[in-house]
Structure 1
Amino acid sequence: MTGGDVTGGDVTALVVIDVQNDYCHPDGVFAGAGLRVADLDGLVERITALVAAARAGGRPVVWVRMEWDDDAQVGLLAERSPFLAATGLRSGTWGAELVAGLEPRPGDTVVRKRRFSAFHDTTLDEVLAGLGATTIVVAGVRTDFCVESTVRDAFFRDLRVVVASDAVAGYVDDLHSNSLRLMGTVFAEVAPTDVVVRTLAPELPVH
């Protein structure tokens, strides 16, 4: 962190990526394949704090969900992650839903994606342009896959990016840590949730 207002005073949107049952819940397909979020309750608590701050500060909230309508849409992931070939993250299933405690509200935006980056073949570009957003705050999973892919693509679009370092999670500690370090080199500002919360809604009391 370089200090100061990490959003730079620009129009800022909070983008929450893939905090879905199949990715995060102990009964989801990723956990069944041995890929587990270590502290799901803590992750949800910190994302909830970011969402509350964004709403308090009048900033838009965008929920990104990875989901497929049918098996054919999974593509090469069906080969690289065989457990997704015929199950997991299917539209309309429990696994594709956001985990308990994270609920979009009227006025929020939900963007569906089928690949790691939230910008690839989605409406996110148009959504952010319509909001006038020049900065995005990013939270969610998986740090070293979907989060990093989205952060890189945002940077390539000349969007300023802030990653809430303890409101993103992966399955492998060193990959998570290395991804944060890499994103912080040039692609994004990396800051803890308490700093980002105060930036999203400066009027909130500091605890």
Structure 2
Amino acid sequence: MKQALLIVDVQHGMFRIDPPVYQGDRVIAVLQKLIHRAREAGVDVIYVQHNGGPGHLLELGKPEWKIHPGIAPQPGDLVVEKRRPDSFFQTVLEEELQKRGVTHLVIGGMQTEFCVDTTVRRAFSQGYDLTFVADGHSTWDNEWLTAQQIIDHHSDIMTRFADVKRAEEIVFFGKE
């Protein structure tokens, strides 16, 4: 079994709007440590980057579209661009995972109830073993729920699809 760390849509624009993504600085700190540990273990770090259309918060090529500088990709990291919430839909993600022999994904990122949720469910349906980073995802309040309620709800729902663990509990094992 080989792992990869998949970071979904943690892009600069989410931190530059008012209000910024909920507890974004905390999530960045969690992801920084997780990325560092993955690299130390020789685990691939894969970034998914949403390409928004004209006028979108994450409009392709605009400064807000870039991956957050606090977790910026390094040479050798894979960046997969997407246009839909599903990180697998019409992207190279599945092909790249197969090429690398990845069977287990550790997933965190933004936005909890959209791109992260959709990607976890699709990865589960594709047959991947999954670990969902309980403290490594975020969103915004909506009309009915606070961001914290959405985060808590999805961390519970994800137990149907993945092992749900806080970042400090996740063990990277590299190639086996």
Do these two structures clear the TM 0.5 threshold for a shared fold by scoring above it? yes
Asked if the contact 1:116–1:145 (Cα under 8 Å) also holds between the matched residues in 2, the reply is yes
Structure with higher Rg: it is 1
Asked if the contact 2:5–2:107 (Cα under 8 Å) also holds between the matched residues in 1, the reply is yes
Which residue identity lines up with residue 194 of structure 1 in the other structure?
A: E
Q: Partner of 1:101 in structure 2?
A: 70
May I ask how many residue pairs the two structures share in their alignment? Answer: 168
**Structure 1 183/37 Cα, relative in aligned 2: closer, same or farther at 3 Å?**
same
Matched, 1:62 2:31: no
- TM-fit CA distance, 1:38: 2.3
Q: Partner of 1:11 in structure 2?
A: 2
Asked if the contact 1:135–1:161 (Cα under 8 Å) also holds between the matched residues in 2, the reply is yes
SS at match of 1:200: coil
Q: Partner of 1:89 in structure 2?
A: 58
Q: Partner of 1:158 in structure 2?
A: 127
Matched, 1:122 2:96: no
Which residue identity lines up with residue 128 of structure 1 in the other structure?
A: L
Deviation readout 1:40-77 (Å, 9 max, x if unpaired): 22111110111101100001010000013x44xxxxxx
Greater CA drift, 149-158 or 91-100: 91-100
Q: Identity of counterpart residues, as a percentage?
A: 29
Q: What CA distance in whole angstroms lies between the structure 1 residues aligned with 2:126 and 2:107?
A: 15
- TM-fit CA distance, 1:102: 1.3
SS at match of 1:15: strand
Unaligned runs of 5+ in 2: 141-146
Q: Partner of 2:79 in structure 1?
A: 110
- TM-fit CA distance, 1:90: 1.5
- TM-fit CA distance, 1:201: 5.8
Which residue identity lines up with residue 169 of structure 2 in the other structure?
A: V
SS at match of 1:92: coil
Q: Partner of 1:40 in structure 2?
A: 24
Which residue identity lines up with residue 200 of structure 1 in the other structure?
A: F
Q: What CA distance in whole angstroms lies between the structure 1 residues aligned with 2:89 and 2:72?
A: 24
- TM-fit CA distance, 1:200: 1.3
TM-score, structure 1 length as denominator?
Answer: 0.77
